[in-house]
Chains A and B, each alone.
Chain A
Amino acid sequence: MNILQYGWRNLWRNTRRTCITLAAVTLSTAILIASYGLMDGLMQHAVSNATNLVVGEVQVHAQGYRGDHSIYKALNRPDLILRAAKQNNVAAAPRRYGYGLVAVGTKSAGARFWGVEPVLERTTFDLAQRLDQGRFLSETSQRGVVLGQKLARSLQAKIGSEIVVVVQAADGSLGNDLFTVTGILKPAGDSIDRNAALIHAADFDELFVSGGRIHEVALNSRGTVSLEGLTELLSIAAPEEEIMSWRQLMPEVSDMVNLFDAFIWIFGLIFLLAAGMGVMNTMLMATYERIREFGILKALGATPWRIIGDVAAEALVLAALGTVLGTILGLAGSYYLQEVGLDLSIFAGTYSVGGVAFDPIWRATISPKMVFIPVMLMLIIGLFASLYPAALAARLDPVREDRGSSKVRSNSKF
C-alpha cells in the first residue's frame, strides 16, 4: 500500500481529532493568506497612491534643483527624456515650478505654481482625477488654476473665483495676472494641499517669462517597468541630470513599506507557530494512541524509518489537505477583501501618513506569492511538527510497549 494512502486512512481513524487539527491548519493558512493580502494591499495602496497620484516612479531634475528649487535650474534636454519615455511606452509628465503670491479679495497666500501639460498630467497621474470640486485644467490655456485644498480654504476661493497672481519672473520683472479657479483638489499630501496652484504650461511660461524651462519630468509606468529599468532608461536619455526613484523621493513611504514587510513576517511567524503546535499536538496524540500498533509493527519487523515514514506521511497528508482547504478559504476571503474591502470610514475619513493620502476602504491584493509562501511554510511546519512524535514511535521497544499498553487496557477493563 502507498505510504500516503496509509497516512490518509490513519487520519480518519479518529475523525474528530483530525477534524480539529485540520481546522487549525485550514484556518491558519486562510488567515495567513488573507492577512498577507491585506498587508500587501495596504502597502501597494500606499505605494501606488504615492506614485500614481503625482510623484511617479522616477523623476528627473537638473543637478541641484531639489536643493534650492531655483527657477533657473532647468533640465537641459527635457525633449530627449520625454522621447525616451515615449519610445519605451512609459507615461511621463513635464512640469515647471515657480513660487509666487495668490490673492482672492483681501485674502492672500504664498503658493507654488505648477506649470503642467494637462493632457500628459491626466494620462500619467491620478491627480487630475482627484478633484474635490470643479474640473481639471483644460487642454488649451484659458488662465485657469487648480488649487490645493488647504490653499483654496485659506483664500476662501470657490470654483469661478478670480485670483490675482503675483510672481517674480525669471527675467526679474514682476509677473502678475488674473486666473480663474477651475478646480480644487482632494487632499493629496500636505505640501500639495497647502501650496499647489496648478496652471497650464503655456500660462506658466508667460507669467514667469521662463522661456519654456522644465524643472521636472516625472515618469509613471504604473508598475509595468521596474525601477531599475526606468532608471537605466533615464540615465541613457539624460546622463547629466539627477535621477531619483520614489524610494528616494519619498523616503517616509519607502520606510513604511519596509516596516510593513517586517510586520507581515512577524504575523506570519505567529500564525505558523500556532498552527504548527496544533499539528504537532494531533500527531503526538495519534502516535501515543497507536503505540501498541507501532509495537506490533516493529515486532513484525518494521524498521524505525518505516514508522517515521508512516507518521510523517500522515502529517503531510493532513497538512496538504489543510492547506488546500485553507487556500480556498483564504482566497475567497482575499477576493472579498479585494472587491469589497474593509470600510474604515467609521474610524477615520481620508487620512494621510507621511504625506500620502489613503482611502478609508482597506483592500487586499492577491498574488501567487501570497498563496505559495503560506502554503509552503505550512507544509514544512506540519512535516517538522510530526517528526518528533515519529521519532518517538520509531524508538519504541515493541515488547515493553505492548505489555505496557495491555496493562493500561486491562486496567481500564477492570
Chain B
Amino acid sequence: MTLIKMFLKTLFLSFSVCILLLNHSPLRAQEQPLTPKQILDKVDDLFRSQSSQGLATMTVATAHWKRSLSLEMWSKGKDKSLVRILAPKKEKGTATLRSGNDIWNYLPKVKRVIKLPSSMMAASWMGSHFTNDDLVKESRMADDYTFEITFMGEGEGEEIVEVTCHPKPEAAVVWGKVLVRARMKDYIPLFVKYFDEDLRLARTMTFSQVSELGGRLIPAMVTMVPEEKPEESTNIHYKKMDYDIDLKDDFFSLRTLQR
C-alpha cells in the first residue's frame, strides 16, 4: 500500500486512540454516543481494511523537474504493502515491498532486489517528497507518540477536530510534533502538519477531493508540500481502490516483488 495510505492509517490509528481517550471527556457530549470500539471501527472502516488494492498517479514537482508516475499498490494488515510503478517506461516494473520495518526495492533494469539500508530511511522515496521512513513508520507511531485533542469545534466551515501528537521523551523519532485536523462527522482528514525538533513547520500534507472509491468516501487527492520549498510538491491522486480483496500473506514476498 502506498505511503499515503500508511499515513492515513497512522493518522487514524492515532486518531482512534485520541478519540478513545476522549470518550470520557465532556467535549464528546455533542456527538451521538459512540463507544470507543465503534469509533475505532468507523475509522478503520473508512481508511483501512484487511487488505486493499488500488491505482494512483503520483505527480512530483520540484524546482528542476516535474513528472508523473502511475502506481499500483496492495496492502494487507498494518505492516505489509507493495507498490509497483506502471509508467513511465524507464521505471516500469520498479517495485517497493514493505514488510514490517524492512523495505526492499526491485529494479527491473538490472533484475535485482536490494534491501534499503537504515541509513537511507530519511532519503526520498522514488524522488517524491515522501521518505522511505514514511513508508514504515506507521506501525511505530502509536508506540512513539502521545496524543492529545487540541481543538474541537467549528473551523473551516465545518465541525472539525484537531489532534496533536507529541513524541515520547525516549522515542527516536524524526518529528518534534505532528498536528492532524479532520472532519468531525466522518473523520476524513483535512491536513497533517509535521514539525521538526525545534517545532518549526517542516511539511504539510493536505487531503482533498473527497470522493467515493471502492465503496468508501476517502480523500482521493493527497498533497505533500515541504515548508522550505513551497513551490515543490508531491500529489497522489487515487484513481481506483478495492477493499477486502483476497490476498495471501506470501503475496508480499520477494518473489512477487520481482514479478
Contacts and interface: CB of A to CB of B under 8 A. Distances in A.
Interface of A: 72, 101, 103, 106, 108-110, 164, 166, 168, 170-174, 176-178
A174 B65 CA distance: 13
Contacts of A101: 114, 116-117, 120, 123
Interface string B85-105: 000101100100000000001
A85 to B, nearest CB: 29
Contact of A171 (B65, B115, B123, B124): B65
Given A72-B64, A172-B127, A173-B127, A103 B115 contact: yes
Given A110-B117, A166-B107, A174 B112 contact: no
A174 B110 contact: no
Nearest to A106: B115
Identify whether the interface residues of A are mostly helix, strand, loop, or mixed: strand
B127 A178 contact: no
Contacts of B90: 173-174
Given A164-B107, A177-B109, A172 B60 contact: yes
29 contacts: A72-B63, A72-B64, A101-B120, A106-B115, A108-B114, A108-B117, A108-B120, A110-B119, A164-B107, A164-B110, A164-B112, A166-B107, A166-B114, A168-B124, A171-B67, A172-B60, A172-B62, A172-B64, A172-B66, A172-B127, A173-B88, A173-B90, A174-B90, A174-B126, A174-B127, A176-B109, A176-B110, A177-B109, A178-B112
Given A109-B119, A172-B64, 20 more contacts: A72-B64, A103-B112, A103-B115, A108-B114, A108-B115, A110-B120, A110-B123, A164-B110, A164-B112, A166-B105, A168-B124, A168-B127, A172-B60, A173-B67, A173-B88, A174-B90, A174-B107, A174-B126, A176-B109, A177-B110
Given A110-B119, A110-B120, A172 B110 contact: no
A166 B114 CA distance: 9
Contacts of A177: 109-110
Contacts of A173: 67, 88, 90-91, 127
A99 to B, nearest CB: 8
Interface string B53-68: 0000000101111110
A372 to B, nearest CB: 53
Contacts of A170: 64-65
Contacts of B94: 174
Contacts of B117: 101, 108-110
Contacts of A174: 90-91, 94, 107, 126-127
Nearest to B116: A108
A170 B63 CA distance: 11
B65 A172 contact: yes
Q: A-B pairs with the 6 shortest C-beta distances? A: A103-B114, A172-B65, A176-B107, A164-B112, A108-B117, A178-B110
Which residue among B65, B107, B114, B123 has the maximum number of chain A CB atoms within 10 Å of its CB? B114
Contacts of B127: 168, 172-174
A209 to B, nearest CB: 9
A168 B117 CA distance: 16
A178 B110 CA distance: 6
Contacts of B67: 171-173
A166 to B, nearest CB: 6
